A and B are shown apart, each in its own frame.
Chain A
Amino acid sequence: MGELVKRNHWVIRVTHWVNVVAIVLMAGSGMRIFNAHPAFARPGEQFPLNPWEGHAIPASLTFGSWLGGARHWHFAAMWLLVANAIVYLAFLFLHGEWRDVVPRRRDARDAVEMIRFYLFARRDHPLQGKHNALQRTTYFAMPALGVIIVLSGLAIWKPVTLGFITALFVNYKWARFVHFVAMALLLLLSLIHVFMVLTVDPYSLRSMISGWYDRTRSPEARNARPFYHLFARGHSDVEAPGESAAS
């Protein structure tokens, strides 16, 4: 038998999967709304920052079937996204789990070591706690992007009534651009996250469903890179902070 630890509190697990649903709904309907006018320039102006100005996103990636329908989904699912995010962030703060994700001074150096390990420039998996430095950075960047997305979203939803928020992004046009770019970055990080879960640590899926995690299967114990040592059984003698061992 492995060495099972309770890794994720049920609040974390529930908000994680609700977030998956909310982000899929929001990104899909948002891209459908974007396709009604897939450009950032005002009429008669240029927008050189977007090399694909005027090119729509493939309809198969979008959700809501038409502009009005996608807007209804977007403005309904936004409450799910925000309510879920508030529960998650409040829990993280009150329960101390924020320590697992806020950046530490060591993170930059540790992240370089992780990248060196993934690029075979280093043999052994760097020592880590619950998350490696790249994960910590990602799991911090994702909610940070979420905050930018919500703020820029309010800015383009209510550019007059909440004009002071729009002004944070200069004006409506730039707020819309920030909203789009932050969404694209969040989707990119999510795709990398899913790829790394499947190719490096599929055992962590269990910890996001039942909460239990087998520490002898950790990437560190298996010395795992993407696709490498996927089914190896290692031995962990590193005590991960914040995890209580169970038999």
Chain B
Amino acid sequence: MNLDRRRFLSVSAASLSSALLAACNRNPRSAATLLAFAERKNASVEEALFRHDAMNRVPRSARLTGEAFPKYFVSERVPMWDPAARGAWRLEVSGAVRRPVRLSLDELVRLPSVTQKVDHFCVEGWNARAAWTGVRVSDLARLVEPTPDAGYVDFAGFDEGYHESWDLESAMHPQTLVAYGMDGRMLGPGHGAPARVHSPVKLGYKNTKYLTRVVFMPRQNGGYWTDQGYEWYGGT
């Protein structure tokens, strides 16, 4: 049976709604405490295993997912930046940094960029492949010079209140990008235009789309799905 995009969307929608319904954890309290403990311990194991030279490698000959790449957002309609209402789009890189910046799309595109064909791992279990073009978050960090207390990064966007915070190490992985291009074209509205986070080192839900702010922080501040009970670390 062919699973087309419509089917993926309905599967995604079904799991979104079930996650919302399950916002109050149905586990008994003692089990919930134990599971929260296990999640914290797992995150430290994952952080200890994490390496910047452990890269996601997709064979050069591998097929791109292309049009079948699932699109998702939490707003009712595809979020689109309206310059008439909100002014020109800017990417703010700020927080615990020495030199915060606000970049226009042109400025972002003029920064040193990379193009990488990588996997996208969804928490649901599927993976898809695309060639992303963008600026390494580690290069953005070099630009703004985070202060020593910055151990986390929050990626926030204009898709309602969507954001997800990351550990600094995962954000500094060479395959973690602020991407503005996909499969050789500028990012489309279904995939987070004008810019989004993309990295194979975190599950899809950690990869904030419709990005507007990259904020370096001394503490993590959860995230859209994290606050609903998904793992905060969400690493691959």
Contacts and interface: CB of A to CB of B under 8 A. Distances in A.
A191 B162 CA distance: 45
Interface centre among A34, A36, A53, A173 (most CB of B within 10 A): A36
B228 to A, nearest CB: 7
B229 A33 contact: no
A79 B38 contact: yes
Interface string A111-123: 0000000000000
A48 to B, nearest CB: 10
Nearest to A36: B124
A66 B21 contact: yes
Given A72-B39, A76-B38, A160-B200, A43 B5 contact: yes
A65 B4 CA distance: 26
B75 interface: no
A36 B15 contact: yes
Interface string B104-135: 00000000000000010111111111000000
Given A53-B3, A54-B3, A158-B46, A67 B18 contact: yes
B126 A159 contact: no
Given A44-B68, A160-B200, A161-B201, A66 B19 contact: yes
Contacts of B66: 44
B8 A43 contact: yes
A66 B15 CA distance: 8
A163 B127 CA distance: 14
B27 interface: yes
Interface string A41-76: 111111000000110000000000111110111011
B61 to A, nearest CB: 13
Interface residues of B, number: 56
A39 interface: yes
- Name the prevailing secondary structure of the B interface residues: loop
A67 B123 contact: yes
B70 interface: yes
A226 B109 CA distance: 72
A161 B1 contact: no
- Name the prevailing secondary structure of the A interface residues: loop
A160 B236 contact: yes
Interface stretch (B51-59, B187-195, B206-214): B51-59
A176 interface: yes
A43 B69 contact: yes
Interface string B38-78: 11001000100111001111000001011111100000000
Interface in B214-236: 225, 228-231, 235-236
A162 interface: yes
B50 A33 contact: no
Interface of B: 1-5, 7-8, 11, 15, 18-19, 21-22, 25-27, 34-35, 38-39, 42, 46, 49-51, 54-57, 63, 65-70, 119, 121-129, 175, 200-201, 225, 228-231, 235-236
Interface of A: 33-34, 36-37, 39, 41-46, 53-54, 65-69, 71-73, 75-76, 79, 158-163, 172-173, 176
19 contacts: A36-B11, A36-B15, A39-B3, A42-B65, A42-B129, A43-B69, A43-B128, A66-B22, A68-B231, A69-B26, A73-B35, A75-B231, A76-B38, A76-B39, A158-B49, A159-B56, A159-B200, A160-B200, A161-B235
Top 8 closest A-B pairs, CB basis? A44-B68, A76-B38, A66-B22, A37-B124, A36-B124, A43-B68, A72-B35, A37-B125
